[in-house]
Chains A and B, each alone.
Chain A
Amino acid sequence: MLILLLIFIHNMKIRVKISMVLCLAILVIGCNKNSDVTQVVPGQKGEIKLNFTNMVGADPIILNSQSYTNFNGDTFYVNTFNYYISNIQFTRMDDSIVREENSYHLIEADKPQTFSFNCKRIPFGQYKSITFTIGVDSLRNVSGAQSGALDPVHNMFWSWSSGYLFTKLEGTSPQSPSGNIAFHIAGFSGPYNSLKTVTLNFPYNAIVSNYIKPVVKLKADILEMFVNPSTIKFGIVNNVTTVGALAKSMADNYADMFSVIEIEN
Chain B
Amino acid sequence: MKTGIVFICCLLFIACTSNNKHNLSIDQLDFSYPDFWPQPTYTFKGNALTHKRIALGKKLFFDKRLSSDSTISCESCHHQKKAFSDGEYKFSFGVNGKQSLRNTPALFNLAWSKTFMWDGGVNHIEFQPIAPITNPLEMNESMEHVIHNIATSNEYQLLFKEAYDTDSITSQLVLKAFAQFLGSLVSYDSKYDRIMRKYKEYSFIDEEAKGYVLFKKSCASCHTEPLFTNHAFENNGLSLAKVNPDYGRLLITKLAEDSMKFKVPSLRNLQFTAPYMHDGRFRTLSEVIDHYSSGIVNYPNKSHKLDYMPKFTRDEKQQLIAFLQTLDDPDFCLKPMR
**A interface residue numbers (CB < 8 A to B):** 31, 141-147, 151-153, 155, 157, 159-163, 190-192, 242-245
Give Cα A31–Cα B3 distance, bound, in whole angstroms.
9
What's the Cα separation between A153 and B147 when bound, in Å?
8
Task: Using A155-B142, A160-B135, A242-B251 as known contacts, say yes or no to A144 and B122 having CB atoms under 8 A apart.
Answer: no
Extra inter-chain contacts (4) besides given A147-B170, A163-B123, A245-B254, CB under 8 Å: A145-B176, A159-B131, A159-B135, A162-B124
Contacts between the two chains (Cβ within 8 Å), count: 74
The chain A residue sitting closest to B117, CB to CB, is A160
Closest chain-A Cβ to B2's Cβ sits at a distance in Å of 9
A142 pairs with B124, CB closer than 8 A? yes
Q: Is the CB of B144 within 8 A of A244?
A: no
- Cα-based distance from A153 to B141 in the complex (angstroms): 11
Given the contacts A155-B144, A159-B131, A162-B122, A190 and B172 also touching, CB distance less than 8 Å: no
Query: B252 interface residue, CB < 8 Å from A?
Result: yes
Q: 8 Å CB contacts to A: which residues of B106-140?
A: 117, 121-127, 130-131, 133-135
In the assembled complex, which residues on chain B have CB atoms less than 8 Å from the CB atom of A191?
255
Does B284 interact with chain A (Cβ within 8 Å)? no
- In chain B, what residue has the closest Cβ to A147? B172
**For A146, what are the chain B residues with a Cβ–Cβ distance below 8 Å?**
172
Q: Is the CB of B130 within 8 A of A157?
A: yes
Smallest Cβ-Cβ distance to B147: which chain A residue: A153
A152 with B254: CB separation less than 8 A: no
**Across the interface, which residues of B come within 8 angstroms of A163, CB to CB?**
123
Q: How many B residues face the partner with a CB closer than 8 A?
A: 30
Q: CB distance A243 to B131 under 8 Å? A: no
Say which residue of A145, A242, A245 sits within 8 Å of B127 (CB atoms): A145
Give the nearest-CB partner of B148 in chain A.
Answer: A153
Tell me if B144 and A153 are in contact (CB < 8 A): yes
Contact B127 A162 (CB under 8 A): yes
Rounded to whole angstroms, the CA-CA distance of A152 and B252 in the bound complex is: 19
A190/B255 contact (C-beta < 8 A), A145-B175, A155-B142, A159-B131 known: yes
A160 touching B131, Cβ below 8 Å: yes
Contact A242:B170 (CB < 8 A) given known A145-B175, A159-B134, A159-B135: no
**Alpha-carbon distance A161/B133, docked complex (angstroms):** 14
Return 18 A-B CB contacts under 8 Å, by A number.
A142-B124, A144-B176, A145-B126, A145-B127, A145-B172, A145-B176, A151-B172, A152-B127, A152-B143, A153-B144, A153-B147, A153-B171, A155-B142, A155-B144, A159-B131, A161-B122, A162-B124, A192-B254
Shortest C-beta distance, A247 to chain B (Å), equals: 9
User: Is B83 positioned at the interface, with any CB of A under 8 Å from its CB?
Assistant: no
Q: Among the listed B3, B6, B123, B144, which residue makes an inter-chain contact with A162, where contact means beta carbons less than 8 Å apart?
A: B123
Instruction: Name the A residues within 8 Å of B131 (CB-CB).
Output: 159-160
- Measured CB to CB, the nearest residue on chain A to B178 is A145
| Given A153-B143, A155-B144, A244-B254, A144:B127 Cβ within 8 A | yes
Nearest CB in chain B to that of A246: its residue: B254
Closest to B168 in A: A147
B179 within 8 A of A: yes
Q: Which residues in A have their C-beta under 8 angstroms from that of B19? A: none
Most buried by A among B143, B171, B252, B254: B254
B171 touches A152 (CB 8 A): yes
Q: Judging by beta carbons under 8 Å apart, are B252 and A161 in contact? A: yes
> With an 8 A cutoff between CB atoms, is B253 at the interface?
yes
- Residues A144 and B125 in contact in the complex (CB < 8 Å), given A153-B147, A191-B255: yes
State how many angstroms separate the Cβ of A149 from the closest Cβ of chain B: 12
A31 surroundings in chain B (CB, below 8 A): 3, 6
Say how far B169's CB is from chain A's closest CB, in angstroms: 11
CB B208 to nearest CB in A, in angstroms, measures 39
Q: Kindly supply a per-residue 1/0 record for chain B positions 14-28, scoring 1 wherever the CB is within 8 Å of any chain A CB and 0 otherwise.
A: 000000000000000
A144, B130: Cβ atoms closer than 8 Å: no
> When chains A and B are docked, how far (Å) is the Cα of A242 from the Cα of B127?
18
Question: Is A144 within 8 A of B126, CB to CB?
Answer: yes
Give chain A nearest CB distance to B180 CB in angstroms.
Answer: 12
Closest 6 pairs between A and B when the two form their complex, measured CB to CB = A144-B126, A145-B175, A145-B126, A162-B123, A159-B130, A244-B254
Complexed CA–CA distance, A145 and B295 (Å): 41
Contacts of A245 in B (CB 8 A): 254
B115 CB, nearest partner CB in chain A, Å: 9
Q: Is the CB–CB distance between B171 and A145 below 8 Å? A: yes
Distance in angstroms between the alpha carbons of A143 and B46 in the assembled complex:
11
User: What's the nearest-Cβ distance from chain B to residue A234, in Å?
Assistant: 22
- Chain A residue nearest to B145 in the complex (CB): A153
| Known contacts A153-B144, A155-B142, A242-B251: A161-B121 contact under CB 8 Å | yes
Closest B residue to A32 by beta carbon equals B2
Pairwise interchain contact A142-B123, C-beta atoms closer than 8 A = yes
A243 touches B125 (CB 8 A): no
Identify the closest chain B residue to A245 (Cβ): B254
